[in-house]
Amino acid sequence: MIALTLAEIAAVVGGELRVAREDTAETVVDGIVDTDSRMMEPGSIFVAKPGAETDGHRFVGAAVEAGAVLAIVEHVVDVPVSQIVVPDSVASLGDLAREVVARVRAGGGLRIVGITGSNGKTTTKNFLARILEDEGETVAPVRSFNNEVGAPVTMLRVTHGTRFLVSEFGAAAPGSIAHLAGLVTPDVAVVLMVGMAHAGGFGGIEATATAKAELVAAAKSSGTAVLNVDDSRVSAMQELARSRGMRVVGFGQGTAADVRAHDVQVTASGTTCEIESAGERMPLRLQVLGAHHITNALAAIAAAGVLGVPLADAVARLETVEIAERWRMQPLGGDRVRIINDAYNASPDSMAAALRTLAQITGPDERTVAVLGAMSELGESAGEEHDRIGLLAVRLNIQRIVVVGPEARRLYLAAVGEGSWDSEAVHLPDQDAAFEYLRTELRDGDRVLVKSSNSVGLRHLGDRLGELFS
Protein backbone atom coordinates (compact mmCIF):
# COMPACT_ATOMS: atom_id res chain seq x y z
CA MET A 1 0.00 0.00 0.00
CA ILE A 2 1.09 3.60 -0.46
CA ALA A 3 2.29 5.40 2.66
CA LEU A 4 -0.47 6.93 4.81
CA THR A 5 -0.53 8.16 8.38
CA LEU A 6 -2.74 6.51 10.96
CA ALA A 7 -4.80 9.69 11.08
CA GLU A 8 -5.29 9.65 7.30
CA ILE A 9 -6.41 6.02 7.35
CA ALA A 10 -8.85 6.70 10.21
CA ALA A 11 -10.33 9.63 8.30
CA VAL A 12 -10.69 7.57 5.11
CA VAL A 13 -12.53 4.72 6.84
CA GLY A 14 -14.48 6.98 9.20
CA GLY A 15 -13.17 5.24 12.30
CA GLU A 16 -11.95 6.08 15.79
CA LEU A 17 -8.18 5.88 16.10
CA ARG A 18 -6.68 4.38 19.26
CA VAL A 19 -2.90 4.54 19.17
CA ALA A 20 -0.71 2.11 21.06
CA ARG A 21 2.94 1.67 21.94
CA GLU A 22 5.00 4.56 20.66
CA ASP A 23 2.66 5.39 17.76
CA THR A 24 1.08 8.78 17.18
CA ALA A 25 -1.59 9.91 14.75
CA GLU A 26 1.22 10.87 12.37
CA THR A 27 2.82 7.42 12.35
CA VAL A 28 3.17 6.28 8.72
CA VAL A 29 2.08 2.83 7.55
CA ASP A 30 2.79 1.40 4.09
CA GLY A 31 2.58 -2.40 4.43
CA ILE A 32 0.20 -4.88 2.86
CA VAL A 33 -3.47 -4.95 3.86
CA ASP A 34 -5.26 -8.27 4.37
CA THR A 35 -7.96 -10.06 6.34
CA ASP A 36 -5.81 -13.17 6.75
CA SER A 37 -3.46 -13.05 9.74
CA ARG A 38 -1.25 -15.65 8.05
CA MET A 39 -0.44 -13.17 5.29
CA MET A 40 0.93 -10.54 7.65
CA GLU A 41 4.51 -9.34 7.46
CA PRO A 42 6.35 -6.48 9.18
CA GLY A 43 4.46 -3.20 8.73
CA SER A 44 1.13 -4.76 7.66
CA ILE A 45 -2.45 -3.71 8.31
CA PHE A 46 -4.81 -6.42 9.56
CA VAL A 47 -8.53 -6.06 8.90
CA ALA A 48 -10.54 -8.09 11.42
CA LYS A 49 -13.46 -9.47 9.43
CA PRO A 50 -16.34 -11.18 11.24
CA GLY A 51 -17.38 -14.46 9.66
CA ALA A 52 -19.97 -17.20 9.87
CA GLU A 53 -17.48 -19.77 11.15
CA THR A 54 -14.89 -17.63 12.90
CA ASP A 55 -14.17 -14.02 13.79
CA GLY A 56 -11.12 -12.14 12.63
CA HIS A 57 -10.94 -10.30 15.95
CA ARG A 58 -9.70 -13.57 17.46
CA PHE A 59 -6.60 -13.39 15.25
CA VAL A 60 -5.46 -9.83 15.92
CA GLY A 61 -2.81 -11.14 18.30
CA ALA A 62 -1.49 -13.59 15.71
CA ALA A 63 -1.43 -10.81 13.11
CA VAL A 64 0.62 -8.60 15.43
CA GLU A 65 3.05 -11.42 16.16
CA ALA A 66 3.53 -11.78 12.39
CA GLY A 67 4.30 -8.06 12.03
CA ALA A 68 1.01 -6.14 11.77
CA VAL A 69 1.28 -2.59 13.10
CA LEU A 70 -2.37 -1.58 12.71
CA ALA A 71 -5.68 -3.39 13.10
CA ILE A 72 -8.99 -2.20 11.66
CA VAL A 73 -11.61 -3.63 14.00
CA GLU A 74 -15.29 -3.41 14.84
CA HIS A 75 -14.57 -3.38 18.57
CA VAL A 76 -11.43 -2.77 20.60
CA VAL A 77 -9.29 -5.88 21.09
CA ASP A 78 -7.01 -6.32 24.10
CA VAL A 79 -3.83 -6.51 22.05
CA PRO A 80 -0.98 -3.95 22.16
CA VAL A 81 -1.38 -2.53 18.64
CA SER A 82 -2.86 0.65 17.21
CA GLN A 83 -6.48 0.10 16.23
CA ILE A 84 -9.10 1.92 14.19
CA VAL A 85 -12.63 1.07 15.32
CA VAL A 86 -15.23 1.09 12.54
CA PRO A 87 -18.86 0.00 12.20
CA ASP A 88 -18.12 -2.40 9.32
CA SER A 89 -14.58 -3.65 8.69
CA VAL A 90 -15.31 -5.04 5.20
CA ALA A 91 -16.85 -1.73 4.11
CA SER A 92 -13.79 0.04 5.50
CA LEU A 93 -11.56 -2.20 3.40
CA GLY A 94 -13.39 -0.97 0.31
CA ASP A 95 -13.21 2.66 1.43
CA LEU A 96 -9.46 2.39 1.92
CA ALA A 97 -9.01 0.75 -1.49
CA ARG A 98 -11.00 3.52 -3.19
CA GLU A 99 -8.84 6.23 -1.61
CA VAL A 100 -5.51 4.54 -2.29
CA VAL A 101 -6.34 3.89 -5.95
CA ALA A 102 -7.61 7.47 -6.37
CA ARG A 103 -4.38 8.89 -4.96
CA VAL A 104 -2.24 6.73 -7.24
CA ARG A 105 -4.41 7.54 -10.23
CA ALA A 106 -4.08 11.26 -9.55
CA GLY A 107 -0.43 10.88 -10.55
CA GLY A 108 -1.62 10.14 -14.08
CA GLY A 109 0.21 6.87 -14.71
CA LEU A 110 -2.29 4.20 -13.62
CA ARG A 111 -4.64 2.43 -16.05
CA ILE A 112 -7.33 0.12 -14.69
CA VAL A 113 -9.01 -2.88 -16.34
CA GLY A 114 -12.09 -4.56 -14.88
CA ILE A 115 -13.05 -8.08 -15.96
CA THR A 116 -16.31 -9.92 -15.40
CA GLY A 117 -18.27 -12.80 -16.92
CA SER A 118 -19.94 -16.03 -15.92
CA ASN A 119 -16.84 -18.01 -16.93
CA GLY A 120 -13.23 -17.25 -17.78
CA LYS A 121 -12.55 -14.28 -15.48
CA THR A 122 -9.51 -15.72 -13.75
CA THR A 123 -7.95 -17.12 -16.92
CA THR A 124 -8.44 -13.83 -18.76
CA LYS A 125 -7.03 -11.92 -15.80
CA ASN A 126 -3.94 -14.13 -15.83
CA PHE A 127 -3.54 -13.81 -19.60
CA LEU A 128 -3.83 -10.01 -19.47
CA ALA A 129 -1.50 -9.69 -16.49
CA ARG A 130 1.12 -11.74 -18.36
CA ILE A 131 0.86 -9.40 -21.34
CA LEU A 132 1.00 -6.21 -19.27
CA GLU A 133 3.76 -7.15 -16.83
CA ASP A 134 6.36 -6.65 -19.57
CA GLU A 135 5.03 -3.11 -20.10
CA GLY A 136 5.38 -2.01 -16.48
CA GLU A 137 4.45 -2.76 -12.87
CA THR A 138 1.16 -4.67 -12.95
CA VAL A 139 -1.08 -5.57 -10.03
CA ALA A 140 -3.58 -8.41 -10.53
CA PRO A 141 -5.47 -10.70 -8.15
CA VAL A 142 -4.03 -13.93 -6.89
CA ARG A 143 -6.33 -16.89 -7.56
CA SER A 144 -9.96 -15.69 -7.79
CA PHE A 145 -9.82 -12.65 -5.51
CA ASN A 146 -12.94 -11.07 -6.96
CA ASN A 147 -15.37 -10.48 -4.09
CA GLU A 148 -15.96 -7.73 -1.52
CA VAL A 149 -12.77 -8.74 0.30
CA GLY A 150 -10.47 -10.10 -2.41
CA ALA A 151 -10.99 -7.26 -4.88
CA PRO A 152 -10.11 -4.44 -2.42
CA VAL A 153 -7.17 -6.42 -1.02
CA THR A 154 -5.80 -6.59 -4.57
CA MET A 155 -6.46 -2.90 -5.21
CA LEU A 156 -4.52 -1.99 -2.07
CA ARG A 157 -1.36 -3.52 -3.54
CA VAL A 158 -0.95 -0.60 -5.96
CA THR A 159 1.91 1.82 -5.44
CA HIS A 160 2.87 5.08 -7.08
CA GLY A 161 4.94 3.01 -9.52
CA THR A 162 2.05 0.80 -10.65
CA ARG A 163 1.13 1.22 -14.32
CA PHE A 164 -1.72 -1.30 -14.57
CA LEU A 165 -4.32 -2.63 -12.16
CA VAL A 166 -6.26 -5.64 -13.43
CA SER A 167 -9.35 -6.27 -11.30
CA GLU A 168 -11.59 -9.32 -11.48
CA PHE A 169 -15.21 -8.80 -10.42
CA GLY A 170 -17.52 -11.59 -9.30
CA ALA A 171 -21.20 -11.16 -8.55
CA ALA A 172 -22.53 -12.50 -5.27
CA ALA A 173 -25.80 -10.61 -5.75
CA PRO A 174 -27.28 -7.81 -7.87
CA GLY A 175 -25.23 -4.67 -7.23
CA SER A 176 -22.02 -6.53 -6.31
CA ILE A 177 -20.18 -5.65 -9.51
CA ALA A 178 -21.47 -2.07 -9.45
CA HIS A 179 -20.06 -1.68 -5.92
CA LEU A 180 -16.67 -3.25 -6.63
CA ALA A 181 -16.15 -1.52 -9.99
CA GLY A 182 -17.31 1.72 -8.42
CA LEU A 183 -14.31 1.62 -6.10
CA VAL A 184 -11.94 2.17 -9.05
CA THR A 185 -14.00 3.23 -12.12
CA PRO A 186 -12.12 1.12 -14.72
CA ASP A 187 -10.70 2.62 -17.90
CA VAL A 188 -11.41 -0.67 -19.68
CA ALA A 189 -14.44 -2.88 -18.96
CA VAL A 190 -14.15 -6.48 -20.22
CA VAL A 191 -17.27 -8.66 -20.30
CA LEU A 192 -16.62 -12.27 -21.30
CA MET A 193 -19.93 -14.10 -21.34
CA VAL A 194 -23.31 -14.49 -19.69
CA GLY A 195 -24.03 -18.06 -18.69
CA MET A 196 -25.84 -20.15 -16.12
CA ALA A 197 -23.09 -19.86 -13.47
CA HIS A 198 -24.73 -18.45 -10.30
CA ALA A 199 -27.99 -17.98 -12.20
CA GLY A 200 -29.86 -19.53 -9.27
CA GLY A 201 -28.79 -16.64 -7.07
CA PHE A 202 -30.00 -14.04 -9.56
CA GLY A 203 -33.30 -15.54 -10.61
CA GLY A 204 -32.33 -16.46 -14.17
CA ILE A 205 -29.94 -15.73 -16.99
CA GLU A 206 -31.44 -12.36 -17.94
CA ALA A 207 -30.88 -11.11 -14.40
CA THR A 208 -27.33 -12.43 -14.64
CA ALA A 209 -26.85 -10.38 -17.81
CA THR A 210 -28.07 -7.28 -16.00
CA ALA A 211 -25.57 -7.92 -13.23
CA LYS A 212 -22.65 -8.29 -15.67
CA ALA A 213 -23.64 -5.07 -17.43
CA GLU A 214 -23.03 -3.24 -14.14
CA LEU A 215 -19.33 -3.20 -15.06
CA VAL A 216 -20.00 -1.28 -18.27
CA ALA A 217 -22.19 1.16 -16.35
CA ALA A 218 -19.50 1.70 -13.69
CA ALA A 219 -16.57 2.23 -16.07
CA LYS A 220 -15.26 5.62 -17.15
CA SER A 221 -17.50 7.29 -19.71
CA SER A 222 -14.32 8.12 -21.62
CA GLY A 223 -13.19 4.49 -21.40
CA THR A 224 -13.56 1.39 -23.55
CA ALA A 225 -15.91 -1.58 -23.33
CA VAL A 226 -14.28 -4.82 -24.54
CA LEU A 227 -17.18 -7.14 -25.30
CA ASN A 228 -17.64 -10.71 -26.51
CA VAL A 229 -19.76 -10.14 -29.60
CA ASP A 230 -20.28 -13.90 -30.05
CA ASP A 231 -22.49 -13.82 -26.93
CA SER A 232 -25.76 -12.10 -27.77
CA ARG A 233 -26.34 -10.88 -24.21
CA VAL A 234 -22.86 -9.39 -23.98
CA SER A 235 -23.06 -7.94 -27.48
CA ALA A 236 -26.26 -6.15 -26.45
CA MET A 237 -24.19 -4.18 -23.91
CA GLN A 238 -22.77 -2.18 -26.82
CA GLU A 239 -25.84 0.03 -26.67
CA LEU A 240 -25.25 0.83 -22.99
CA ALA A 241 -21.55 1.53 -23.61
CA ARG A 242 -22.17 3.84 -26.55
CA SER A 243 -24.96 5.66 -24.70
CA ARG A 244 -22.34 6.55 -22.09
CA GLY A 245 -19.88 7.77 -24.72
CA MET A 246 -17.60 4.75 -24.44
CA ARG A 247 -15.61 3.22 -27.26
CA VAL A 248 -16.48 -0.42 -28.01
CA VAL A 249 -14.04 -3.15 -29.07
CA GLY A 250 -15.61 -6.51 -29.90
CA PHE A 251 -13.85 -9.85 -29.75
CA GLY A 252 -14.91 -13.31 -30.89
CA GLN A 253 -14.90 -15.63 -33.88
CA GLY A 254 -17.73 -14.01 -35.80
CA THR A 255 -17.44 -11.37 -38.50
CA ALA A 256 -18.61 -8.61 -36.13
CA ALA A 257 -15.48 -8.96 -33.98
CA ASP A 258 -12.69 -6.37 -34.11
CA VAL A 259 -10.27 -8.90 -32.59
CA ARG A 260 -11.08 -12.23 -34.21
CA ALA A 261 -9.90 -15.84 -34.14
CA HIS A 262 -9.81 -18.06 -37.23
CA ASP A 263 -9.24 -21.80 -37.60
CA VAL A 264 -9.25 -22.85 -33.94
CA GLN A 265 -7.60 -26.24 -33.42
CA VAL A 266 -7.34 -28.20 -30.15
CA THR A 267 -4.72 -30.88 -29.51
CA ALA A 268 -3.27 -32.61 -26.47
CA SER A 269 -0.37 -30.16 -26.50
CA GLY A 270 -2.39 -26.95 -26.66
CA THR A 271 -4.74 -24.79 -28.69
CA THR A 272 -3.96 -22.88 -31.88
CA CYS A 273 -5.66 -20.32 -34.08
CA GLU A 274 -4.94 -17.29 -36.21
CA ILE A 275 -5.61 -13.87 -34.68
CA GLU A 276 -6.87 -10.98 -36.79
CA SER A 277 -6.84 -7.42 -35.46
CA ALA A 278 -6.70 -4.04 -37.19
CA GLY A 279 -5.64 -5.59 -40.47
CA GLU A 280 -2.92 -7.78 -38.95
CA ARG A 281 -3.05 -11.58 -38.90
CA MET A 282 -0.73 -13.89 -36.99
CA PRO A 283 -0.77 -17.37 -35.49
CA LEU A 284 -1.31 -17.98 -31.76
CA ARG A 285 -0.14 -21.21 -30.15
CA LEU A 286 -1.49 -21.45 -26.61
CA GLN A 287 -0.08 -24.10 -24.35
CA VAL A 288 -3.39 -24.00 -22.44
CA LEU A 289 -5.90 -26.72 -23.37
CA GLY A 290 -9.37 -25.97 -24.68
CA ALA A 291 -11.02 -24.01 -27.47
CA HIS A 292 -12.88 -21.93 -24.88
CA HIS A 293 -9.57 -20.41 -23.78
CA ILE A 294 -9.22 -18.80 -27.21
CA THR A 295 -12.12 -16.54 -26.19
CA ASN A 296 -10.23 -15.59 -23.03
CA ALA A 297 -7.07 -14.95 -25.05
CA LEU A 298 -8.99 -12.73 -27.48
CA ALA A 299 -10.35 -10.70 -24.58
CA ALA A 300 -6.86 -10.24 -23.14
CA ILE A 301 -5.41 -9.28 -26.53
CA ALA A 302 -8.22 -6.80 -27.14
CA ALA A 303 -7.84 -5.18 -23.71
CA ALA A 304 -4.06 -5.02 -24.12
CA GLY A 305 -4.50 -3.40 -27.52
CA VAL A 306 -6.65 -0.68 -25.97
CA LEU A 307 -3.75 -0.04 -23.57
CA GLY A 308 -1.29 0.28 -26.43
CA VAL A 309 0.31 -3.17 -26.57
CA PRO A 310 1.11 -4.27 -30.15
CA LEU A 311 -0.55 -7.50 -31.31
CA ALA A 312 2.77 -9.28 -31.90
CA ASP A 313 3.90 -8.58 -28.33
CA ALA A 314 0.60 -9.71 -26.84
CA VAL A 315 0.66 -12.97 -28.81
CA ALA A 316 4.30 -13.72 -27.96
CA ARG A 317 3.67 -13.25 -24.25
CA LEU A 318 0.52 -15.38 -24.24
CA GLU A 319 2.44 -18.21 -25.82
CA THR A 320 4.63 -18.41 -22.70
CA VAL A 321 1.66 -19.17 -20.40
CA GLU A 322 1.82 -22.87 -19.45
CA ILE A 323 -1.44 -23.21 -17.51
CA ALA A 324 -4.35 -20.85 -16.99
CA GLU A 325 -4.31 -21.37 -13.21
CA ARG A 326 -3.96 -24.28 -10.83
CA TRP A 327 -7.01 -26.58 -11.12
CA ARG A 328 -8.08 -24.98 -14.41
CA MET A 329 -7.43 -27.38 -17.30
CA GLN A 330 -4.23 -28.31 -15.45
CA PRO A 331 -2.36 -31.25 -17.05
CA LEU A 332 -1.21 -33.84 -14.50
CA GLY A 333 -0.17 -37.48 -14.56
CA GLY A 334 2.23 -38.82 -17.18
CA ASP A 335 2.43 -40.38 -20.61
CA ARG A 336 0.52 -43.50 -19.49
CA VAL A 337 -2.47 -41.78 -17.91
CA ARG A 338 -3.03 -38.08 -18.43
CA ILE A 339 -5.20 -36.15 -15.97
CA ILE A 340 -6.84 -32.81 -16.73
CA ASN A 341 -7.73 -31.26 -13.38
CA ASP A 342 -10.37 -28.62 -14.11
CA ALA A 343 -12.27 -28.82 -10.84
CA TYR A 344 -11.74 -25.35 -9.42
CA ASN A 345 -15.21 -24.43 -10.56
CA ALA A 346 -17.98 -25.57 -12.88
CA SER A 347 -21.00 -24.19 -14.68
CA PRO A 348 -23.01 -25.76 -17.51
CA ASP A 349 -20.98 -23.78 -20.05
CA SER A 350 -17.56 -24.62 -18.63
CA MET A 351 -18.54 -28.26 -18.04
CA ALA A 352 -19.60 -28.60 -21.67
CA ALA A 353 -16.43 -26.90 -22.90
CA ALA A 354 -14.22 -29.19 -20.80
CA LEU A 355 -16.00 -32.32 -22.06
CA ARG A 356 -15.60 -31.19 -25.66
CA THR A 357 -11.91 -30.56 -25.05
CA LEU A 358 -11.52 -34.06 -23.60
CA ALA A 359 -13.10 -35.54 -26.72
CA GLN A 360 -10.96 -33.39 -29.03
CA ILE A 361 -7.58 -34.24 -27.48
CA THR A 362 -8.09 -38.00 -27.17
CA GLY A 363 -6.64 -40.13 -29.96
CA PRO A 364 -8.31 -43.15 -31.59
CA ASP A 365 -6.28 -45.61 -29.50
CA GLU A 366 -6.93 -43.75 -26.24
CA ARG A 367 -9.91 -43.81 -23.88
CA THR A 368 -11.89 -40.84 -22.58
CA VAL A 369 -12.78 -40.83 -18.88
CA ALA A 370 -14.85 -38.03 -17.32
CA VAL A 371 -14.94 -37.75 -13.52
CA LEU A 372 -17.78 -35.35 -12.82
CA GLY A 373 -19.27 -33.77 -9.71
CA ALA A 374 -22.11 -31.37 -9.10
CA MET A 375 -22.47 -27.84 -10.46
CA SER A 376 -23.47 -25.41 -7.71
CA GLU A 377 -25.68 -22.31 -7.56
CA LEU A 378 -28.00 -23.19 -10.44
CA GLY A 379 -31.22 -22.81 -8.47
CA GLU A 380 -34.32 -24.25 -10.11
CA SER A 381 -32.32 -25.05 -13.25
CA ALA A 382 -29.99 -27.49 -11.46
CA GLY A 383 -31.79 -30.69 -12.40
CA GLU A 384 -32.24 -29.74 -16.04
CA GLU A 385 -28.63 -28.58 -16.40
CA HIS A 386 -27.23 -31.79 -14.86
CA ASP A 387 -29.42 -33.77 -17.25
CA ARG A 388 -28.01 -31.81 -20.16
CA ILE A 389 -24.41 -32.54 -19.18
CA GLY A 390 -25.14 -36.23 -18.77
CA LEU A 391 -26.63 -36.34 -22.25
CA LEU A 392 -23.73 -34.39 -23.73
CA ALA A 393 -21.14 -36.73 -22.20
CA VAL A 394 -22.78 -39.71 -23.89
CA ARG A 395 -23.24 -37.93 -27.22
CA LEU A 396 -19.54 -37.01 -27.19
CA ASN A 397 -18.84 -40.73 -26.78
CA ILE A 398 -17.07 -40.32 -23.44
CA GLN A 399 -16.24 -43.94 -22.75
CA ARG A 400 -16.24 -43.90 -18.94
CA ILE A 401 -18.43 -41.48 -16.99
CA VAL A 402 -17.65 -41.48 -13.27
CA VAL A 403 -20.16 -39.38 -11.33
CA VAL A 404 -19.24 -38.46 -7.76
CA GLY A 405 -21.53 -37.38 -4.92
CA PRO A 406 -25.27 -37.43 -4.27
CA GLU A 407 -25.82 -33.93 -5.68
CA ALA A 408 -24.68 -35.13 -9.12
CA ARG A 409 -26.79 -38.32 -9.23
CA ARG A 410 -29.14 -36.83 -11.80
CA LEU A 411 -26.21 -36.39 -14.19
CA TYR A 412 -25.52 -40.11 -13.83
CA LEU A 413 -29.16 -41.06 -14.41
CA ALA A 414 -29.27 -38.91 -17.55
CA ALA A 415 -26.16 -40.62 -18.92
CA VAL A 416 -27.62 -44.06 -18.24
CA GLY A 417 -30.91 -43.03 -19.80
CA GLU A 418 -29.06 -41.89 -22.92
CA GLY A 419 -27.39 -45.29 -23.31
CA SER A 420 -24.27 -45.34 -21.12
CA TRP A 421 -24.75 -48.91 -19.82
CA ASP A 422 -22.65 -51.89 -18.70
CA SER A 423 -20.45 -49.88 -16.28
CA GLU A 424 -19.75 -47.20 -18.87
CA ALA A 425 -21.31 -44.86 -16.27
CA VAL A 426 -20.92 -45.34 -12.53
CA HIS A 427 -22.11 -43.35 -9.54
CA LEU A 428 -19.92 -43.22 -6.42
CA PRO A 429 -20.75 -41.60 -3.07
CA ASP A 430 -17.62 -39.53 -2.51
CA GLN A 431 -14.14 -38.79 -3.78
CA ASP A 432 -12.46 -41.45 -1.63
CA ALA A 433 -14.66 -44.09 -3.24
CA ALA A 434 -13.94 -42.56 -6.63
CA PHE A 435 -10.19 -42.69 -6.01
CA GLU A 436 -10.32 -46.37 -5.05
CA TYR A 437 -12.38 -47.14 -8.15
CA LEU A 438 -10.15 -45.15 -10.51
CA ARG A 439 -6.84 -46.46 -9.23
CA THR A 440 -7.77 -49.90 -10.58
CA GLU A 441 -10.02 -48.85 -13.48
CA LEU A 442 -7.64 -46.46 -15.22
CA ARG A 443 -5.24 -47.95 -17.74
CA ASP A 444 -2.53 -46.96 -20.17
CA GLY A 445 -3.81 -44.55 -22.81
CA ASP A 446 -6.58 -43.05 -20.67
CA ARG A 447 -7.27 -39.33 -20.88
CA VAL A 448 -9.10 -38.26 -17.72
CA LEU A 449 -11.07 -35.06 -17.06
CA VAL A 450 -11.87 -34.17 -13.43
CA LYS A 451 -14.55 -31.45 -13.27
CA SER A 452 -16.88 -30.10 -10.58
CA SER A 453 -17.77 -26.95 -8.72
CA ASN A 454 -15.25 -25.79 -6.15
CA SER A 455 -17.52 -26.66 -3.21
CA VAL A 456 -17.54 -30.34 -4.23
CA GLY A 457 -13.77 -30.58 -3.82
CA LEU A 458 -12.94 -32.87 -6.75
CA ARG A 459 -9.84 -30.75 -7.43
CA HIS A 460 -8.22 -32.67 -4.57
CA LEU A 461 -9.19 -35.96 -6.24
CA GLY A 462 -7.57 -34.67 -9.42
CA ASP A 463 -4.37 -33.92 -7.52
CA ARG A 464 -4.36 -37.40 -5.99
CA LEU A 465 -4.83 -39.03 -9.38
CA GLY A 466 -2.14 -36.85 -10.90
CA GLU A 467 0.33 -37.91 -8.22
CA LEU A 468 -0.66 -41.59 -8.52
CA PHE A 469 -0.05 -41.71 -12.26
CA SER A 470 2.90 -39.33 -12.50
What pLDDT shows up at residue 52?
73
What pLDDT shows up at residue 335?
85
Hey, which CATH number is domain 4-88, 1.10.540.10, 3.40.1390.10, 3.40.1180.10, 3.40.640.10?
Answer: 3.40.1390.10
What pLDDT shows up at residue 61?
97
Beta-strand pair 247-252/259-267: parallel
What pLDDT shows up at residue 199?
57
92 DSSP 8-state letter: H
> DSSP labels for 291-311?
THHHHHHHHHHHHHHHTT--H
**Do 192 and 118 meet the contact criterion of CB atoms below 8 Å apart?**
yes
**Do 318 and 131 meet the contact criterion of CB atoms below 8 Å apart?**
yes
Task: Give tens-digit pLDDT for 230-245.
Answer: 999 999 999 999 999 9
> DSSP labels for 367-400?
EEEEEE-PPPS-GGGHHHHHHHHHHHHHHTT-SE
Specify the pTM: 0.89
Beta-strand pair 400-404/425-428: parallel
- Does residue 319 come out as left (phi exceeding 0), alpha (psi in the -120 to 50 range) or beta? alpha
**Do 178 and 189 meet the contact criterion of CB atoms below 8 Å apart?**
no
Q: Could you state, in order of their start, the residue ranges of all structural domains in the chain?
A: 4-88, 107-318, 330-468
Helix residue ranges, H only, 19-88: 60-65
What residues are designated binding site?
Answer: 117-123
Q: Is residue 75 exposed (0-12), middle (13-18) or buried (19+ Cβ within 10 Å)?
A: exposed
What pLDDT shows up at residue 201?
59
* CA–CA distance, 416 with 393 (Å, rounded to integer): 11
User: Which whole-number Å values give the CA distances from 47 to 25, 27, 34, 50, 182, in the listed order?
Assistant: 18, 18, 6, 10, 21
Q: How many CA atoms lie within 13 A of 136 on its CB side?
A: 16
Asked: is 330-468 a CATH 3.40.50.300 domain? The reply is: no
H/E run at residue 415: helix 409-418
* CA–CA distance, 74 with 89 (Å, rounded to integer): 6
In angstroms, the first-to-last Cα distance of the chain is: 41
What pLDDT shows up at residue 53?
78
CB atoms within 10 A of CB 308: 8
CB atoms within 10 A of CB 402: 25
Task: Give tens-digit pLDDT for 110-155.
Answer: 999 999 998 899 999 999 999 999 999 999 998 778 899 999 999 9
Residues contacting residue 421 through CB under 8 Å, at least 6 positions apart:
none
* CA–CA distance, 408 with 388 (Å, rounded to integer): 12
What residues are designated binding site for ATP?
Answer: 117-123
The low-confidence residues of the chain, meaning pLDDT below 50, are none
107-318: CATH topology:
UDP-N-acetylmuramoyl-L-alanine:D-glutamate ligase (3.40.1190)
